[in-house]
Structure formats: C-alpha cells, structure tokens
C-alpha cells in the first residue's frame, strides 16, 4: 500500500508530477512510476498502450466527493472488512484515449467473489469516464462509478476477491485488476 500513500499524500494536485516520492504514469512507456522508477505491474495496478489503472478498497465513501477538494483526496485502504460497514472500490486511471470530440470512454465490470470462489456480487458496464477529461498525459482520473460491498453477519469469514475488468473503449485496451480483503469471524 506504499503506492496509495504516495499517490494521495504527495500528489495533491491530482497530477503525477516528476518529483521525489511521486507516482506517475510514464509519458512514453505508459507504466506507473514511484520516485521516477518504473513500478512493476501487479494485480492491483497495471498499464498498456499508455493507459493505466489502479484498484484500491476503502471504507471512506466521502473520498469520492472530496476528490477535487483542496489538498487532494486522502483515504485509508482496507484489507480487513468490518461486517456491516461498506467497502468501496476505488478505480483510478490515466492515459485514456480521447474520441474526436475530446471525450473519453472508459467502462469497467466488477465481480466480488466469496472465499469459496462463488460470486458475492457483480456489476457490469460501470462508468469510469464518458465525458471530457483532463487531457494531460499524467492527469489522474477517478472513475465516476464505484461498487459498495457490505458484508452481512451471515456471510462467511475468509478472503474475498474483487476482480475488475477496465476497458478503454477508444484505445481498445482491457486491463484486469484484482484486490483482496479479509472478513473475520
């Protein structure tokens, strides 16, 4: 979760600047960088063809409203879900293709799996962006939609998996992301 802390605590302008301790997509390679060095792709963040996406989980639903606020968004990532408290998916992307009218078209699907692998919940064709976005190559974009996941008392304990398929429909790129969280008894 070092990436999350660096991204939100030190990148207050919502642009990934070329400064010490910043996270940014490379303008030429399209990958994520930390401290100016390429960050290897992982299940939670990846990029291709200049389009990159990161997936986080948080209990702080207010961060969506505060994204454009002063000082940038701040939230604590979640790895252990509390029963009855919603966990929200946070999808951040960069480098989306733009149509001739200057609009992006980024959509995504979310599938949440129980510890036994069965589907706990899913949503398709959620909107990342389908309007004009900041065209700067390093401008971080917060997906418009998100999924809230609430673990009920009857739900099994164990490790749940959140799988996201992100599509840049202009560049014709698909990225698969994955995060996990634990539910205790």
Return the bridge partners of 162, or none.
Answer: 112, 179
pLDDT on residue 31: 63
- What are the two backbone dihedrals, phi and then psi, of residue 7, each rounded to the nearest 5 degrees? -60, -50
Residue from 183, 179, 124 nearest 156 by CA = 183
Give yes or no for a contact between 78 and 162, defined as CB atoms under 8 angstroms apart: no
Q: Which residue has the higher pLDDT, 106 or 21?
A: 106
What per-residue confidence (pLDDT) applies to 18?
A: 31
pLDDT score, position 159: 98
This model's pTM is above 0.85:
no
Tokens of 153: 């008392």
Mapped onto helix, strand or coil, the DSSP state of residue 7 is helix
What b/e string do you get for 47-71 counting C-beta neighbours within 10 Å, with b at 16 or more? bbebbbbbbbbbbbeebbeebeeee
Distances (CA, A) of 61 to 29, 41, 71: 32, 26, 17
Distance CA(1)–CA(38), nearest Å, equals: 16
Predicted pLDDT of residue 14: 29
Task: Give the pLDDT confidence score for residue 95 in this predicted structure.
Answer: 93
Residue 171: per-residue pLDDT: 96
Residue 64 has, within 13 A of its CA and on its CB side, a CA count of: 18
Among all chains, which residue has been given the structure tokens 């733009």? 98
The CATH number of the structural domain formed by 2-183 is 2.60.40.3880
pLDDT tens per residue across span 58-86 = 998 888 888 887 776 677 899 999 999 99
Contact indicator for 170, 98 with CB cutoff of 8 Å:
yes
Mean pLDDT across the chain: 83
Alpha-carbon distances, residue 106 vs 66, 122, 142 (angstroms): 21, 18, 11
Give the residue among 111, 132, 138 at the shortest CA–CA distance from 50.
138
What is the reported pLDDT for 35?
72
Region 31-37: mean pLDDT is 70
* Between 20 and 61, the higher pLDDT residue: 61
Please write the tens of the pLDDT for every residue from 135-185. 887 888 999 999 999 999 999 999 999 999 999 999 999 999 999 999 999
34 by Cβ neighbours in 10 Å (0-12 / 13-18 / 19+) ranks as: middle
Q: 3-class SS at 166?
A: strand
HSE, side-chain direction, 13 A CA sphere, residue 80? 2
């Amino acid at each position: 979760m070092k990436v999350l802390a660096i991204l939100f605590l030190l990148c207050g302008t919502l642009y990934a600047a070329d400064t010490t301790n910043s996270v940014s997509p490379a303008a030429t390679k399209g990958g994520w960088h930390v401290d100016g060095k390429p960050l290897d792709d992982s299940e939670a963040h990846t990029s291709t063809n200049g389009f990159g996406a990161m997936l986080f989980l948080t209990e702080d639903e207010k961060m969506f409203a505060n994204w454009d606020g002063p000082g940038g968004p701040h939230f604590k990532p979640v790895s252990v879900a509390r029963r009855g408290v919603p966990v929200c998916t946070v999808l951040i992307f960069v480098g989306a293709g733009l149509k001739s009218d200057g609009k992006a078209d980024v959509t995504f699907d979310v599938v949440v799996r129980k510890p036994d692998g069965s589907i706990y919940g899913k949503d398709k064709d959620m909107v990342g962006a389908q309007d004009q976005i900041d065209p700067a190559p390093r401008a971080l974009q917060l997906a418009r939609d998100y999924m809230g996941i609430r673990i009920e008392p009857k739900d099994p304990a164990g490790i749940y998996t959140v799988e996201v398929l992100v599509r840049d429909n202009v560049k014709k790129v698909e990225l698969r992301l994955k995060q996990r969280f634990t539910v205790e008894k």
